[in-house]
Amino acid sequence: MDLHVTDLAVARGGVPVLEGVSFTVASGEALVLRGPNGIGKTTLLRTVAGLQPPLAGTVGLDREAMAYAGHSDGIKATLSVRENLTFWADVFATDRVDAALAAFELRPLADRLAGNLSAGQKRRLGLARMVVTGRPVWVMDEPTVSLDVNAVAMFAAAVRAHLAEGGMALLATHIELGLAEARLLELGGFRAKAPAADDFDGAFL
Ligand SMILES: Nc1ncnc2c1ncn2[C@@H]1O[C@H](COP(=O)(O)OP(=O)(O)OP(=O)(O)O)[C@@H](O)[C@H]1O
């Protein structure tokens, strides 16, 4: 299984931000999207994950293949760490709660209310959700924000284990991920062009 993205154009708030984006992520590979603030990394990730429609182009895998981790961790504060992961295991019909607790060293925190976790612990719980999904494509936006050096290493190990099982990872970040083997895609060359001056309709977009 490969992820083929072809000639994708994406918009945010109705404004085109990137166009002509093509790449392939093969089974066992990680691709890191790079570019300055505001270029459209989040928008591109959300589009690839099927959370918003593209303006043009195709994403050659069904959204059911994707697991998306965005800026918000999607944590339920009044459930414990284990209950949060069990909730997601029910949603995705998997039995990977213990594997997820182990991957992000959450066992000692399993019975703590998620609302009482520190920022880095919350992020670890949010990332552990990816393990629980059992989905082949992990789409992750700034996954290592709030993580200390030790937790970044946990994250890198979890991604490597996922890739070793034939999974794929598509990541956006400004921070070192500890994944030297990941390929990089610079988005600078894919900025959407402003509409032509004689494009009457375009002038109102
Ligand atoms: N409602 C909106 N209308 C128009 N433009 C918007 C709207 N919301 C966001 N934008 C712009 O869309 C662009 C793409 O945003 P996006 O969050 O995808 O960028 P990013 O590369 O992920 O940024 P960062 O590195 O800061 O996280 C930004 O320039 C942003 O200002």
Task: Give me the CATH number covering residue 147.
Answer: 3.40.50.300
CB-hemisphere CA count at 13 Å for 118? 9
pLDDT category at 197 given cuts 50, 70, 90 is low
CA 30/CA 179 separation, integer angstroms: 9
Q: What is the pLDDT of residue 177?
A: 84
Closest-CA residue, ligand 1 atom 9, reads 12
Query: Which ligand 1 atom is the nearest neighbour of the CA of 44?
Result: 18
Cβ of 39 closer than 6 Å to ligand 1, yes or no, is yes
**How many domains, the chain?**
1
Domain hosting 125: range is 3-204
Please give the model's pTM, rounded to 2 decimal places.
Answer: 0.91
* ipTM value: 0.91
Q: What is the pLDDT of residue 39?
A: 95
Residue 199, pLDDT > 80, answer: no
Q: For the purposes of burial, counting CB atoms within 10 Å of the CB of 128, is it exposed (0-12), middle (13-18) or buried (19 or more)?
A: buried
Cβ of 189 closer than 6 Å to ligand 1, yes or no, is no
Cβ of 38 closer than 6 Å to ligand 1, yes or no, is yes
Query: Which ligand 1 atom is the nearest neighbour of the CA of 172?
Result: 22
User: What is the residue whose two structure tokens read 């009482």?
Assistant: 116
| Count, residues in the chain | 205
> How confident is the model over 130-152, as pLDDT tens digits?
999 999 999 999 999 989 999 99
Ligand 1 centroid to Cα of residue 38, in Å, is 5
Closest-CA residue, ligand 1 atom 3, reads 13
User: What is the residue whose two structure tokens read 């570019």?
Assistant: 35
> How confident is the model over 40-94, as pLDDT tens digits?
999 999 999 999 999 999 999 999 999 999 988 789 999 999 999 999 999 999 9
